Structure 1
Amino acid sequence: MSPVPHPPQRPPGSRILASLGLPAPEPIAADASPHSFPDGGRWRTEIPSVEGPEALDTVLREADRLSVPVHRVSQGSGVWMLTDAEITEMVRAAAERSVELCLFTGPRGTWDTGASTRTESRGGGPRARGHGAVVGCVEDAVRATSLGVTCLLVADEGVLWTLHRARTAGLLPPDTTLKVSALIGPVNPAAYAVHERLGADSINVPSDLTPDHLTEIRRVSRAPMDLYVEAPDELGGYVRMYETAELIRRGAPLYLKFGLANAPALYPSGAHLRETVLSTARERVRRGRLVLDLLARLGAGDAMSPPGSRLPGPLCRFPDDI
C-alpha cells in the first residue's frame, strides 16, 4: 500500500534555522504511515481522565468555548466507581455530541490485595489478578454496555481476549470497541500485533516511544494507536507538543491524547477530589487547544477525522477457538 498523501508541512523553527545554516533533515517518505481511519482521517482527539458526569459536562463546555473537536473521552477510575444513573447521564451527554465514551473495566492489581505491586518489580501491575478480577471486568463490561457505553478500556490481555470473544459471540454489542490502556501498552511491533489480534480496536502505546518505534509498529499493524501528547506524571510526565505533527505522520491512524503533567493523581476518583477533577479536566481541553494551534501553524492541521467518527475499520484477529 502506498503512503497516504498529506499536505505540506514544516518542522518547528525550520525557516529561521535554515537561514542560520542549521536546516532540519527532510522527512523520509518511507517512514510515513500508510494507514488512516476508515473515514480517511489520519488523527482523532481524546480527552482522558473524565471521571464522571460533571467532569464530562466541564469538558464539553470547555471544548465549545475553545473550539476543540473531541472524538473520544475516557475515564480511568472504572465502571464500578459510577452509579447506573451517572453512567446513563454520561452516555446521554456523549451521544448528544457524537463523542465516544470509554469507561475502564473492573478491578486492577494495583488496587488489589497483592503486595507485589508495591515492590520494585511491580508484580503483575494493573492486570486482573485471578479469576475473580476477570469476573469483575466482565461484569463491568456487561453492565456498561447495557447502559449504552460503546467503548471499554482494558488493562489485561486475558480480559481483552475474553471481551473480544464475548463480542463476537453476541454477548456484547457488536459495535463495542475495546481500547488497551497505556498501563500495559505494547513497546514493540510484535506485541502491538498481538494486542490487535486479541481484539484491541485502539492501543495506547507508552508515551516515550520514538517516531522510529511508531514506524516499526506501522509496518505490521494498522490498528489505531493512542498516544499521550502530554502524559501524566505516573506515565512519565512527557510533553511532546512540538513532535505532534511527526507523531501523526509516523503513527497514523492516531488518537492524540491530551493528558496533563504536574497534576495530582485522580484514580480512584470521587467527590473528595471534585475540584481537582474539574480543574484538570478544563486544563486538558486547553492543552488540546494548544496542540491544535501548533498543528495549524506548522501546516499540519488537516486530515483530522470528521467529528463523530469512532469505528476502527477491519482489523486482524486470532481465531476465536484457539
Structure 2
Amino acid sequence: MNQTPDPRPRLHPRRPGEQALAALGLAAPAVDPADASPHTFPDGGTWRTEVPSCEGPEALAVVLKESSRLDVPIHRISQGSGIWMLSDDEITEMADACAAGGIELCLFTGPRGTWDTGGSTRTSSGGAGLRARGHDALAGCVEDAVRATELGVKCLLVADEGVLWSLHRLRALGVLPTDTTFKVSALIGPVNPAAYAVHERLGADSVNIPSDLTLAHLTEIRRVSRAPMDLYIEAPDDLGGYVRMYETAELIRRGAPIYLKFGLSRAPGIYPYGAHLRDLSLDTARERVRRGRLALDLLARHGADGGMSPLGSRLPGPLTRFPTDKD
C-alpha cells in the first residue's frame, strides 16, 4: 500500500538515473546549494499538493474517493469555471466536504475577459486575457468573493491585478474574513522576479507561475519573494501541456514553499462546466488524482518525498504587502 510521504526532508535525494549514468561516465553536474530556496511554509514544510479543475460537488466526491483509494494527500482543491457558475447549495456542499477532510477549497472569482463581449481575447494577441474588463466585471468578482466567503469558502482564485488588490483591501478592512487566502491564476502568472514580488505585495498568498519557467527562473524568484508558488507538474494543453514529473524534486528544492498541482495534458477543456460535460469532468478528475499518485511515487523512489506540509495546513505565513487604506 502506498504510504503518505514522510514529513522529514531528505538531505541527499537520488537524482533520476544517477547511478546508471555515472557508470557510463555521464554523471550530472553537482547540485549547487546556492540554488536551493531558503523558505518554507510556516509549518516547516516545503511542499503541498493541489488537485485543480474540480468543477462541482460530484467531481469533488470523485477526487476525495480516489485520493483515499490511492492514498494521495491533498492540501487544496481548486475550481476553474467560477463561483458564479455554482449555486449556493453546490458551494456549501463543496465547502463542507473539504472542511470535513481538512482540505482548502479554492473557487475562481467572477466574470473574466475570455468570456465577456470583448473580442480582443479571440485575436492572435490574446488581448487582455482573463482580466476583468471594466467596473462591472470588477464588481462581479467582488460580489463572487463576498458570496463565497459567506458560504464558508476560504480561498479565492484571482485572474486580475486590480481584483487582487481590491480583495486584499477588503480583507484588511474586515469585509472579507481575515483568514481568506488569494491565489493568482496561472493565466496571468508573473514570469520574472520583480513581477512576482508585485503580486505578493498586492495581496497574493500563492502565485501560479506559468509551467514553462525554468529551474533557474524559480531560483531567481526565490531570491526576492517567499510567497508560496503554485506550479503544474503536468499542465493542461492551454498552458502548454508540459509534463515535468522527473523535475518534481528539483522544483521543490528551488521553488519551496510550493504547491504541486496535478493537472492533465491531452484533455479537452471543461470551462465553463455544465452537465453536458459531466462524464468528461468526472473522468479527468479521477485521472488527475492518479497522476498525483505517480508523481508522489517518483518522489519516494528518489528519496525526495520528505518535507510535505502536514495535512490540513493552509496559511502562507507572513508576507510583504503594499500599504492599504487601513495602514
- Report the TM-score range of the alignment, normalised by the length of the smaller protein: over 0.9
Structure 2 match to 1:165: 169
1:225 and 2:237 correspond: no
SS at match of 2:183: strand
1:258 match: 262
Alpha-carbon offset, residue 264 of structure 1:
0.6
Who is 2:115 aligned against? 111
Query: Using the alignment, how far apart are the partners of 2:134 and 2:10 within structure 1?
Result: 47
| Native 8 Å contact 1:178 1:201 kept in 2 | yes
Q: Output aligned runs, 1:139-150, within 5 Å.
A: 139-150=143-154
Question: In 2, are the aligned partners of 1:38 and 1:312 still within 8 Å (CA)?
Answer: yes
Q: Which amino acid aligns with 2:237?
A: D
1:115-153 deviations in Å (ceiling 9; x for gaps): 111111111110000000000000000000000000000
Say yes or no: does 1:19 pair with 2:17.
no
Separation in structure 2 between the aligned mates of residue 62 and residue 269 of structure 1, nearest angstrom = 21
Structure 1 residues 11-33: Cα deviation after superposition (integer angstroms, max 9, x where no partner): 10000000111001111000000
Q: Name the CA distance, whole Å, in 1 between partners of 2:265 and 2:119.
A: 27
* Percentage of identical aligned residues: 75
Q: Which amino acid aligns with 2:256?
A: A
CA distance in 2, matches of 1:7, 1:239: 25
Equivalences, count:
319
- Within the candidate set 62, 65, 69, 1:65 is matched to 69
Measure the CA separation in 2 of the matches of 1:149 and 1:27.
41
User: How do residues 1-322 of structure 1 correspond to structure 2 at under 5 angstroms?
Assistant: 6-321=10-325
Could you tell me how far apart the structure 1 residues matched to 2:105 and 2:255 are?
A: 23
Between the aligned partners of 2:311 and 2:255, the Cα distance in structure 1 is 20
In structure 2, give the amino acid aligned to 1:12.
Answer: P
Q: CA RMSD in A?
A: 1.0
- TM-score, normalized by length of structure 1? 0.98
SS at match of 1:101: strand
What is the Cα deviation at residue 5 of structure 1? 7.2
Q: Is the 8 A contact 1:116 1:122 kept in 2?
A: yes
Q: Aligned partner of 2:211: which letter?
A: S
Mean Cα deviation higher: 116-125 or 228-237? 116-125
Q: Once the two structures are superposed, what CA deviation does each residue of 1:194-241 show, in whole Å capped at 9, x if it has no partner?
A: 000000000000000000000000000000000000000000000000
Counterpart of 2:295, as a letter, is V
Code of the aligned partner of 2:105: L
> Structure 1: which 5+ residue stretches go unaligned?
none
Whole-angstrom distance in 2 between the partners of 1:191 and 1:10: 33
Kindly indicate whether the alpha-carbon contact (under 8 Å) linking 2:52 and 2:78 is maintained by their aligned counterparts in 1: yes
| Contact kept? 2:9, 2:306, Cα under 8 Å | no
Could you tell me how far 1:7 is from its partner in structure 2?
2.3
Q: Is the 8 A contact 2:83 2:109 kept in 1?
A: yes
For structure 2, the 5+ residue unaligned runs are: 1-7
In the TM superposition, structure 1's runs of 4+ consecutive aligned residues that sit over 4 Å from their partners are none
- Residue 189 (structure 1) shift: 0.2
Q: Provide Cα deviations, 1:135-194, integer angstroms capped at 9, x if missing partner.
A: 000000000000000000000000000000000000000000000000100000000000
